[in-house]
Chains A and B, each alone.
Chain A
Amino acid sequence: MLQITSFVPWTRAAASDTAALLARLVRGDSAALDLLYRREATAVYRYAMAMAGDAAAAADATHDAFVALAARPQGFDVARGELGAYLAGIARHSLLALRRVACEPLDDEAAADVGNADGSPEELCVRRQGREALWRAIGALPWTQREALVLVDLQERPYGQAAAIAGCELNTLRTRLHRARQRLAELLGRVQQEVSHE
């Protein structure tokens, strides 16, 4: 015999409650993981893609983030932040581990010279298209500067959330963002000078 214990309108808040989904995940409910993935995966993937510039690496980092959440859902405290930032933070660790394997420096102040990256006529045509040059220049930024730029300027996350993902103080994030924009302008200026001299 069923016993009705409450009777309420179906509300949006009750349907999308993160804490309730995490509680179900703690109990081993894979449907809860599915629902959290549908809700959060896109933002995590976009962050990873903008940082790595490589679809396979971005997919792996997104995968690692959700598998880690499933393995230890109690590791996230809803009172301390947003789940999306937590997942992006795990993806960040995964991407950094890949960089360490490839022996890439975290803060390479001598960033790659995007202006000398290639020189064929076809590639110079591509360079003239601003956004192509921009993505190349973003990829040439040191990791910490690129991260600040991706989180704030490209993903439009609040400064506080961006700092939490990057694992740094708010002022540090602001400094990194300022330097990233300056460096980006320098790199793009170099490309444009080369194009204008062709």
Chain B
Amino acid sequence: MNDPINGRNGAMPLAELLSAAAGELRHLHPPAGLRERVLATARSARPMRPRRRGWVWALAGSGAAVGMAALLVAILLLLAGPVAPPSDHAARLASGFVPVASAGRWQQLLSDSATPAWLVTTEMPRDRLAALGLPFDPARAAEPVRAELLLHASGEVIAMRVIGQ
């Protein structure tokens, strides 16, 4: 008699079949375009703040304030040993940072797990948001806004994100 559970009479055991099916399932991925569809629907259903590139370059160009932070950090780095960033690609994707340095520098940091990096939390004037092209409420202009800078061991600002509105 056929016995698919134990695999007698030439049939594959059920456990083996299920294991093979699980392997097939692991090769499935969401179709291309679904991510964009999700983001577009979410934005149309509820006002969301899109990722904006302009403010990044504005920040990089604004120079003085970020440069001063980088200088301070560089000094601090001389006093403390660097730490290697994580090598897990998913963790980096989940970080939410937007590159401030050139794309090449960002990719270099991502691809080289031995490259040291530091996370610096800063506060800056809220009106800086407007200069960076981000939503800005003039009524709260006196309140500072928090941001995180991802710095290379050399002191260069690689990426940043606003963490408080």
List residues of A whose CB falls within 8 A of some B CB.
Answer: 1-12, 14-16, 20-21, 24, 27-35, 37-39, 41-42, 45-46, 49-50, 55, 59, 62-63, 66-67, 70-71, 130-131, 134-135, 138, 149, 153-156, 181, 184-185, 188-189, 192-193, 196
Which listed residue, A2, A14, A29, A31, touches B65 by the CB 8 Å rule?
A2
With A6-B121, A27-B165, A67-B41 already in contact, the answer to whether A46 and B25 are too (CB < 8 A) is yes
Beyond the given A7-B120, A16-B90, A30-B49, could you list 9 further A-B residue pairs with CB under 8 A, ordered by the A residue number?
A7-B73, A15-B91, A21-B96, A28-B46, A37-B35, A38-B93, A39-B94, A138-B21, A184-B4
With A7-B120, A55-B31 already in contact, the answer to whether A131 and B25 are too (CB < 8 A) is no
B165 to chain A minimum Cβ distance, whole angstroms, is 6
Q: Are A131 and B35 in contact (CB under 8 A)?
A: no
B43 to chain A minimum Cβ distance, whole angstroms, is 6
With A27-B165, A63-B34 already in contact, the answer to whether A134 and B21 are too (CB < 8 A) is yes
With A45-B30, A134-B18, A184-B14 already in contact, the answer to whether A29 and B121 are too (CB < 8 A) is no
Q: Are B14 and A62 in contact (CB under 8 A)?
A: no
Which listed residue, B3, B17, B21, B39, touches A33 by the CB 8 Å rule?
B39
Main secondary structure of the interface of B (DSSP, over half): mixed
CA distance A6 to B123 in the complex (A): 10
Q: Are B30 and A42 in contact (CB under 8 A)?
A: yes
Q: Are A11 and B86 in contact (CB under 8 A)?
A: yes
Q: Are B88 and A185 in contact (CB under 8 A)?
A: no
A-B contact pairs, 16 of them (CB 8 A): A1-B124, A6-B121, A15-B94, A28-B46, A34-B51, A38-B94, A62-B30, A62-B34, A63-B41, A67-B42, A131-B24, A134-B21, A155-B22, A188-B4, A189-B3, A196-B2
Of all chain A residues, the one with the shortest Cβ separation from B125 is A1
With A2-B122, A188-B4 already in contact, the answer to whether A16 and B17 are too (CB < 8 A) is no
Which listed residue, A1, A11, A29, A55, touches B119 by the CB 8 Å rule?
A11
- What residues of chain A lie closer than 8 Å to B91, measured between beta carbons? 12, 15-16
B83 in contact (CB, < 8 A): yes
Mark contacts of B78-93 with chain A using CB atoms, 8 A cut-off: 1 yes-contact digit, 0 otherwise.
0000110110101111
B130 in contact (CB, < 8 A): no
Q: Are B12 and A39 in contact (CB under 8 A)?
A: no
Q: Which of B31-80 contact A (CB under 8 A)?
A: 31, 34-35, 37-39, 41-43, 45-51, 65-66, 68-69, 72-73, 76
- What residues of chain A lie closer than 8 Å to B42, measured between beta carbons? 30, 33, 66-67, 70-71
Q: Are B96 and A35 in contact (CB under 8 A)?
A: yes
- What residues of chain A lie closer than 8 Å to B48, measured between beta carbons? 28-30, 33, 70
- What residues of chain A lie closer than 8 Å to B46, measured between beta carbons? 28, 70-71
B25 to chain A minimum Cβ distance, whole angstroms, is 5
With A12-B86, A33-B38, A188-B11 already in contact, the answer to whether A135 and B45 are too (CB < 8 A) is no
